Structure 1
Amino acid sequence: MLSDSGAAPRPFIMPAVMFDGPAQDRAEEAAEFYVKLFNSSSGQEAEVGGISRYPERTGKAEAGALAFGEFRVGDQWFVVMDNGSGQDHGLRGISLLVNCEVQKEIDFFWDSLSADSDAENCGWLKDKFGMSWQIVPVNHAELLRHPNAFAHMMEMKKLVIADF
């Protein structure tokens, strides 16, 4: 959208997240947090891309908040922005799914991201920005074919591969 003309091409569709409510004016912090998290742990290269700031207070956004920002994890680009309208939009209707190869990876992402134990259920969690995540084993579909696996999973918070 606002990427430097010399930047790598962006995909046809990019998930976009608007930060509002308790996460208002935290879009840049979130992008930097996710980039650091995935660079340090997943073997996926991550980076912050182009950013554009509100030059002055705009709607709910303070001067300097992100009017537009982008970050990449692996080949996937995301758009982040702070709510510059005067309306309440909240952070809802999206979750990000992380496919993990082993339990150690599930444990790492769960421990790094989960910030609301009341929002944890069968592999879902919410982070400190209010973003919903699904932290699941890459062979999740196969595990769910085990007898009583679905009912058992519904009782779990963090998914534990050995418990399926």
Structure 2
Amino acid sequence: MKNAIHPCLWFNGNAFEAAEFYCSVFSNSRISVNTPMVVNFELNGQKFMGLNGSVEFAFNEAVSFVVECDTQEEIDYFWSKLTAGGSESMCGWLKDKYGVSWQIVPSILGQLMTDTSRSQRVMQAFMQMKKFDIATLLKA
């Protein structure tokens, strides 16, 4: 595709290790190029580049990747895999072991938040959560 856009992630010399990890978490994923400087990989068909940089730059929450999940089982799976060696935050946010920020969210969240009769209750419910709980959101 002409002028395709994809993220380049600056790793601390471990881009290939990170790419292997992400490919193990997401289905339909592969590493297409591995050189000493860069690793190109795809996660669910989305292209990424991993750069073997140094400690000069670090990831922060200004950029995060959103994973929409249809079921609680999917939320539990991605939460478990991506928090291993990383850290949990609030409202579906986490950092993986490489410091990359992720949002693991139920795909139904947008619909719940646009329902004016319940959006405030839904927001109050998820503001108390680390990992999203779909059943709790549906009860709100």
> Same fold by TM-score, threshold 0.5 exceeded?
yes
| Aligned residue-pair number | 131
TM-align CA RMSD: 1.8
Is 1:70 matched up with 2:49?
Answer: no
Q: Deviations over 1:95-123 (max 9, x none)?
A: 11111110000001001111444x41100
Q: Deviations over 1:46-102 (max 9, x none)?
A: 10011221xxxxxxxxxxxxx111110222101111215xx7211233211111110
| Regions of 4+ moved over 3 Å | none
**TM-score, with structure 2 as normaliser:** 0.85
SS in 1 for 2:58: coil
SS in 2 for 1:152: helix
Structure-to-structure mapping, 1:1-164, within 5 angstroms: 12-19=4-11, 24-39=12-27, 45-53=28-36, 67-83=37-53, 88-92=56-60, 93-114=62-83, 115-117=85-87, 119-144=88-113, 145=115, 146=118, 147-164=120-137
How far residue 161 of structure 1 moved from its aligned partner, in angstroms, is 0.4
How far residue 10 of structure 1 moved from its aligned partner, in angstroms, is 8.0
Q: Which has the larger radius of gyration?
A: 1
Contact 2:86 2:98 (C-alpha < 8 Å) held by counterparts: no
Q: Which runs of 5+ in 2 are unaligned?
A: none
SS in 1 for 2:50: strand
| Percent identity (aligned) | 35
**TM-score, with structure 1 as normaliser:** 0.73
| Structure 2 equivalent of residue 4 of structure 1 | none
Distance of 2:100 and 2:6 partners within structure 1: 16
SS in 1 for 2:68: strand
Contact 1:10 1:77 (C-alpha < 8 Å) held by counterparts: no
Distance of 1:68 and 1:123 partners within structure 2: 30
